[in-house]
A and B are shown apart, each in its own frame.
Chain A
Amino acid sequence: MAERLSNDFQFLDVPRNDPSKKDIGVRRSQYVEIYSPFQPEQAASQAHRCLECGNPYCEWKCPVHNYIPNWLKLVSEGNILEAAELSHQTNTLPEVCGRVCPQDRLCEGACTLNDGFGAVTIGSVEKYISDTALAMGWRPDMSDVVWTDKKVAVIGAGPAGLGCADVLVRNGVKPVVFDRNPEIGGLLTFGIPEFKLEKPVMQLRREVFEGMGIEFRLNTEIGRDITIDDLLSEYDAVFMGMGTYTYMKGGFPGEDLDGVYEALPYLVSNVNRNMGFEQSADDFINMSAKKVVVLGGGDTAMDCNRTAIRQGADKVICAYRRDEANMPGSRREVANAREEGVEFLFNRQPIAIIGDNKVEGVKVVETRLGEPDARGRRSPEPIPGSEQILDADAVIIAFGFRPSPQPWFETAGVSTDDGGRVLAPEQAQFQFQTSNPKIFAGGDMVRGSDLVVTAIWEGRKAAEGILDYLDI
């Protein structure tokens, strides 16, 4: 081990250095992660820039409240296994969060050094810790776990379900996770493209989880292959983390034309092809040699943009109704999309999709931002007479997602609000308990579509609610 770093002025002496990005030619054609991993010296040197603020803003901002300054210190000292153990105390999927979290809006945005020094590369170090430790053979320490005779069914192997199962199994409760897909991860596997999260990451995670005692029953859909009543009678409790899959419509004419696609089926079809899960070649949505317009400005829109580039689209235009500063997603991903050749049109609201039988263009109107609303976000208002038509062979709609309440909710006694979100309050005797005392829920299906890390948090908290409910 090299000499331990000890420089109170590291943050001045060493600038923030993100891991290098791969060559743009590779990025535009291949489905590989675009960032190279940190080398050990680089990780230690970057981690050592942390000031260890007495009041760590990063930790407060992080939805799962990772012990960020503490594991940064461990990395700067070269104690990777200890860092991995600590990192897993608060987070079920640290290497995933290190890759897909919008750090610029969370920990790194809150970092004291973000004021003129360059924030600590928290996300890249977080990814480095778990990737390195897992590659070294580290596995979560389960030696202190005392097994109970309880078992809990978890519906959905996405971030919420995995977060819940992780906390349950560490407390000696047997989780059995059901998912309709052939691999775990939910949107992590099927929604988020490989250039942000390569699929072997989740496959390794599955191995780790199974080693911890979590059982997965894949290709199994509740209500089709097994009923909720079966789960309720066979298990001591049920957790639902089923996400939000109903896509939001724009409410303008032409949305049903041939060549208009929803974001998620588009992304899933591409992952299915890459992973060999494709049922039929007709399911594949291909943007090769097409003029593509993506509508929306969030992270999902960026994923669609960048997938279309890799499929060989002629031209990809992303039209968003607010300006760049008001985009909801990660600024980093917008910058990456732009580098890869996506063209952005801001302040454009779609009012119709044009074409006979098939898409020929998108009619947009220019907008300007009105006064901020109660949440501080400024709503766009159309400028009369500024209509324009963008030529398009295909249109991908990425306006966000709404909950997808299941037909069996009613018989199971699970209530939802008017928008279809499952009612499972965090502030309750048993946190995240639904109106059926035996059923808990968390993640997007409770809060509406949100970040991976918030879903993990809710899954973990719901597990604590379940443990209380089971009196463990």
Chain B
Amino acid sequence: MIALGCKYLRICHLNNCATGVATQQDKLRQDYFIGAPEMVMNFFKFVAQETREWMARLGVSKLEELVGRTDLLEVLEGVTEKQRNLDLTPILSSAHVPADKPHTCQVPKNVPFDKGELAERMVKETLAAIDAMAGGEFEYRITNCDRSIGARISGEIAKRHGNQGMAEQPITIRFNGTAGQSFGVWNAGGLNMYLEGDANDYVGKGMTGGKLVIRPPKGSPFKSQDTSIIGNTCLYGATGGKLFASGSAGERFGVRNSGAHAVVEGVGDHGCEYMTGGLITVLGRTGYNFGAGMTGGFAYVLDEDKTFVDKYNHELVEIQRINSEEMEAYRHHLVSVIEEFVAETGSSWGQSIIDNFDDYVGQFWLVKPKAASVQKLLNSIRHRPE
């Protein structure tokens, strides 16, 4: 980052980086960012060059020959009395490594335990539909041993047609069961995945398009809005696409989201932290620190027990009601968002909010960055920030 112009301002969380490195502000990125790929290339070339020079001085031709060679290090005398009192011999000692044993890893690769069998099978069975851009419907059972499901297919789609190239002819996959970690990670436009059951952490991490829909098994006796359905850190760094989950999400929901739209029925602590774009709708309780460092996008939060004021982080975002005259556009928008959620998930909680919207509308908050204007918010979510 320093090679690209970062000056160590330590204001990355404010979106106002004056060197244009850590900001989504158009003017700063266009007019003040001086970085070019060659600068990073040069930096690493020089790092390698300097390393080689030092190795040449030591008469060493491979980095492997340096591992564990603490005998080549010289201890400086130290400038202050305290430094001179330091005894560095314990950390410089190689005595515990047998001299006749290798100092480096001798195995070529650490083979993962998870062979990704379901993922590979799915690729095999959908590949023809991807190649032909034909779309299609598929069905699988899923267990929590199946991780990063969807990523392989998204990769094949993106490789052939780009991130959004198949969005109009999507492949739809219906799952039954419990998904392992990272369900729908890096999801591309053109892959819609419906899961009846629940999912672990990282659902939709880094997703850029498509749709992820998670709903409880039919006939579940519990109330979806009081029950967890997806784990922690879902939508981390997502840039687009949609996520609907008929149930509660864990901590850190939507962190660093910059474009995805999501509806869930509750979230844990730190929801929407560092969010820079997109829309999050929470039809139920949130945890503490909601909206910390959030500089873009916005959220709707249903606050039935009137505790949200004490829970959100006041530094960068502000909240307002949507039941006033001038917020009519937002009310319509919220209803359409919940309607789409209900259509996808069949959530009875979502349906009852729509049925009694007049009773609930006064309990919703609109959460937006202080710097954003209410007039422009609705438009802003229709463009992706990048």
Residues on A lying within 8 angstroms of B by beta carbon are 6-9, 11-12, 51-55, 57, 112-113, 115-117
A12 touches B28 (CB 8 A): yes
A9 touches B9 (CB 8 A): no
Q: Please tell me which one of the listed residues A6, A53, A113, A116 contacts residue B10 in the complex, with CB atoms under 8 A apart.
A: A53
A116 touches B16 (CB 8 A): no
Q: Which residues on the A side are within 8 Å of B370 (C-beta)?
A: 6
Asked, given contacts A8-B371, A9-B16, whether A55 binds B8 with beta carbons under 8 Å apart, the answer is yes
Q: Which residues on the B side are within 8 Å of A112 (C-beta)?
A: 7, 9, 18-19
B163 at the interface (CB under 8 A from A): no
Of residues 275 to 315 in B, which have CB atoms within 8 Å of A's CB atoms?
A: none
A11 touches B15 (CB 8 A): no
Q: Which residues on the B side are within 8 Å of A7 (C-beta)?
A: 371
Residues on B lying within 8 angstroms of A by beta carbon are 7-11, 14-16, 18-19, 25, 27-28, 31-32, 370-371
Nearest CB of A to B118, in Å: 46
Residue on B nearest A57 in the bound complex, by CB:
B7
Asked, given contacts A53-B7, A112-B9, A116-B31, whether A8 binds B18 with beta carbons under 8 Å apart, the answer is no
Residue on B nearest A11 in the bound complex, by CB:
B18
A51 touches B11 (CB 8 A): yes
Q: Please tell me which one of the listed residues B8, B14, B25, B32 contacts residue A116 in the complex, with CB atoms under 8 A apart.
A: B32
B15 touches A113 (CB 8 A): no
Residue on B nearest A53 in the bound complex, by CB:
B9
Cα–Cα, bound, A55→B2 (Å): 13
B18 touches A54 (CB 8 A): no
Q: Which residues on the A side are within 8 Å of B15 (C-beta)?
A: 8
Cα–Cα, bound, A217→B319 (Å): 64
Residue on A nearest B7 in the bound complex, by CB:
A112
Cα–Cα, bound, A169→B28 (Å): 48
Q: Please tell me which one of the listed residues B10, B25, B31, B32 contacts residue A9 in the complex, with CB atoms under 8 A apart.
A: B25
Cα–Cα, bound, A161→B10 (Å): 38
Cα–Cα, bound, A69→B315 (Å): 20
Q: Which residues on the B side are within 8 Å of A116 (C-beta)?
A: 31-32
Cα–Cα, bound, A357→B370 (Å): 75
Q: Which residues on the B side are within 8 Å of A12 (C-beta)?
A: 16, 25, 27-28
Cα–Cα, bound, A7→B9 (Å): 17
Nearest CB of B to A234, in Å: 37
Nearest CB of A to B158, in Å: 35
Nearest CB of A to B299, in Å: 20
Q: Which residues on the A side are within 8 Å of B11 (C-beta)?
A: 8, 51-54
Residue on A nearest B28 in the bound complex, by CB:
A12
Interchain Cβ contacts within 8 Å, total number:
46
22 contacts between A and B (CB under 8 A): A7-B371, A8-B14, A8-B15, A8-B371, A9-B16, A9-B371, A11-B16, A11-B18, A12-B16, A12-B27, A51-B9, A51-B11, A53-B9, A54-B9, A54-B10, A54-B11, A55-B9, A55-B10, A112-B9, A112-B19, A113-B18, A116-B31
Q: Which residues on the A side are within 8 Å of B19 (C-beta)?
A: 112
Nearest CB of A to B380, in Å: 16
Q: Which residues on the A side are within 8 Å of B18 (C-beta)?
A: 11, 51, 112-113, 115, 117
Residue on A nearest B31 in the bound complex, by CB:
A116
Cα–Cα, bound, A12→B23 (Å): 13
B8 touches A53 (CB 8 A): yes
Cα–Cα, bound, A9→B25 (Å): 10
Q: Which residues on the A side are within 8 Å of B31 (C-beta)?
A: 116
Which 3 A-B pairs rank lowest in CB-CB distance, beginning with the nearest?
A54-B10, A8-B16, A53-B9
Nearest CB of B to A200, in Å: 39
Nearest CB of B to A12, in Å: 7
Nearest CB of B to A373, in Å: 28
Q: Which residues on the B side are within 8 Å of A8 (C-beta)?
A: 11, 14-16, 371
Cα–Cα, bound, A117→B14 (Å): 18
Q: Which residues on the B side are within 8 Å of A53 (C-beta)?
A: 7-11
Cα–Cα, bound, A258→B7 (Å): 56
Q: Which residues on the A side are within 8 Å of B8 (C-beta)?
A: 53-55
Cα–Cα, bound, A53→B11 (Å): 7
Select the residue from B11, B19, B31, B370 with max chain A CB neighbours within 10 A.
Answer: B11
Q: Which residues on the A side are within 8 Å of B10 (C-beta)?
A: 53-55
Cα–Cα, bound, A112→B28 (Å): 13
Residue on B nearest A111 in the bound complex, by CB:
B18
Cα–Cα, bound, A12→B18 (Å): 9
Given contacts A8-B14, A51-B9, 11 further A-B pairs with CB under 8 A are A7-B371, A8-B371, A9-B16, A9-B371, A12-B16, A12-B27, A12-B28, A51-B18, A53-B9, A53-B11, A112-B7
Asked, given contacts A8-B371, A9-B25, A112-B7, whether A51 binds B32 with beta carbons under 8 Å apart, the answer is no
Q: Which residues on the B side are within 8 Å of A9 (C-beta)?
A: 16, 25, 371
Nearest CB of B to A182, in Å: 48
Select the residue from A8, A12, A55 with max chain B CB neighbours within 10 A.
Answer: A8
Nearest CB of B to A4, in Å: 12
Cα–Cα, bound, A12→B28 (Å): 9
Nearest CB of B to A6, in Å: 7
Residue on B nearest A113 in the bound complex, by CB:
B18
Nearest CB of A to B28, in Å: 7
Cα–Cα, bound, A320→B264 (Å): 73
Cα–Cα, bound, A123→B25 (Å): 29
Nearest CB of B to A470, in Å: 24
Residue on A nearest B369 in the bound complex, by CB:
A8
Cα–Cα, bound, A35→B158 (Å): 62
Q: Which residues on the B side are within 8 Å of A52 (C-beta)?
A: 11
Nearest CB of B to A111, in Å: 10
Cα–Cα, bound, A132→B25 (Å): 37
Q: Which residues on the A side are within 8 Å of B14 (C-beta)?
A: 8
Cα–Cα, bound, A57→B14 (Å): 19
Cα–Cα, bound, A55→B6 (Å): 12
Cα–Cα, bound, A9→B28 (Å): 10
Cα–Cα, bound, A218→B157 (Å): 87
Residue on A nearest B12 in the bound complex, by CB:
A54
Cα–Cα, bound, A11→B25 (Å): 13
Cα–Cα, bound, A9→B18 (Å): 9
Residue on A nearest B315 in the bound complex, by CB:
A6
Cα–Cα, bound, A7→B27 (Å): 16
Nearest CB of A to B131, in Å: 48
Residue on B nearest A52 in the bound complex, by CB:
B11
Residue on B nearest A56 in the bound complex, by CB:
B9
Cα–Cα, bound, A117→B25 (Å): 15
Nearest CB of A to B8, in Å: 5
Nearest CB of A to B142, in Å: 44
Q: Which residues on the B side are within 8 Å of A117 (C-beta)?
A: 18, 32
Cα–Cα, bound, A9→B11 (Å): 12
Select the residue from B7, B19, B27 with max chain A CB neighbours within 10 A.
Answer: B7
Nearest CB of B to A69, in Å: 11
